[in-house]
């Protein structure tokens, strides 16, 4: 497994998204996936306090046990757990961190991320609280998620002598290329931020296991998703592009999974591609997916999936 950097953190270029833990997966299932990931060379684990209603952190903390120091552990705060536990006010940042440390059964979080911007709190105030957590040794590096290019610039400007964000985690895939058009990818490169794509497989559409127009395989994320949410991913636009990508994959003899991971990793700001897994087989397939894409293949994928 190749590695890249998030600030001073060395991470595997394929990361494990832990949003299935405590939801689709019980503790035994979590244990199986975590063990398979570590054995496959995955060292970057990304969770959040809201995943599984806080159970993702709880399960992860218990199953890691003595293997905690073998991984780079990332979590997030800020999205609502309930009416009181929400936002980015400095007092809550500190409480959220202590809660996550307890659930994760660790004395430090390697990458602590603001899950979403809080319009009610100046970003400098949030950065100040995160800086204090770093000074106390409870957090090694800090990052953010779902921020716009303008918000990233503002955070960089307001950081001053405070520790800056080292990463930004936004949605990005062959089917969702908004970071290229909204300026976030450029801002990440300009500001020296590692980019962490989430939904890199577009909720399973880029695994090669889903064929537009055919019944959804049982147990897949899309099959279990409420119709009002799955309708977005099963739209005519996405379906047409998935058909084209499936043909391209077959013609070039490159698995769809490899195309999805490798195309993202070919973008310089990308540090690790975070993909969830609900079985050891899935995590092993994800870990083995990256391949070197020649420039011709990369350009064809760009043309095939870019906006007209």
Give the active site residues.
51
Q: Which residues are registered as beta bridge partners of 21? A: 25
Residue 48 DSSP label: -
Residue 200 class from Cβ within 10 Å (0-12 exposed, 13-18 middle, 19+ buried)? buried
**In 3D, which of 171, 180, 173, 162 has the Cα closest to residue 259?**
173
Which residues, at least 6 apart from 15, have a Cβ–Cβ distance to it below 8 Å? 42, 44, 45, 46, 196, 272, 273, 274, 275
> DSSP string spanning 131-185?
HHHHHTTSEEEEEEES--HHHHHHHHHHHTTSPPP-EEEEE-BTTB-HHHHSSHH
Q: What's CA 86's distance to the chain center, in Å?
A: 20
Q: Max alpha carbon distance in the chain (Å)?
A: 55
DSSP for 108-123 reads -EEEEEE-S--TTS-H
| Phi, psi dihedral angles at 134 (to 5 degrees) | -65, -45
């Amino acid at each position: 497994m190749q590695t890249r950097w998030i600030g001073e953190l060395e991470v595997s270029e394929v990361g494990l998204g832990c949003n299935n833990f405590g939801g689709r997966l019980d503790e035994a299932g979590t244990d199986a996936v975590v063990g398979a990931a570590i054995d496959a060379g995955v060292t970057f684990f990304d969770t959040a306090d809201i995943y599984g209603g806080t159970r993702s952190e709880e399960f992860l903390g218990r199953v890691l046990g003595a293997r905690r120091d073998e991984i780079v552990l990332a979590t997030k705060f800020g999205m609502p757990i309930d009416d009181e536990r929400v936002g980015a006010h400095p007092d809550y940042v500190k409480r959220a961190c202590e809660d996550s440390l307890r659930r994760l059964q660790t004395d430090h979080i390697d990458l602590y991320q603001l899950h979403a911007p809080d319009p009610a709190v100046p970003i400098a105030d949030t950065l100040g609280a995160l800086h204090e957590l770093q000074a106390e040794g409870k957090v090694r590096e800090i990052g953010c998620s779902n921020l716009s290019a303008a918000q990233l610039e503002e955070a960089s400007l307001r950081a001053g002598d405070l520790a800056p964000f080292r990463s930004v985690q936004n949605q990005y895939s062959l089917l969702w290329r908004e970071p290229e058009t909204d300026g976030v990818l450029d801002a990440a490169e300009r500001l020296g931020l590692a980019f962490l794509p989430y939904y890199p497989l577009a909720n399973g559409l880029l695994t090669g296991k889903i064929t537009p127009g055919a019944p959804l395989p049982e147990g897949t994320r899309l099959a279990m998703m409420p119709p009002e949410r799955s309708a977005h991913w099963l739209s005519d636009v996405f379906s047409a592009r998935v058909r084209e990508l499936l043909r391209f994959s077959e013609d070039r003899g490159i698995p769809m999974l490899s195309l999805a991971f490798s195309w993202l990793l070919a973008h310089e700001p990308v540090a690790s591609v975070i993909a969830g897994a609900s079985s050891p087989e899935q995590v092993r397939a994800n870990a083995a997916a990256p391949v070197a894409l020649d420039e011709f293949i990369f350009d064809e994928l760009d043309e095939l999936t870019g906006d007209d």
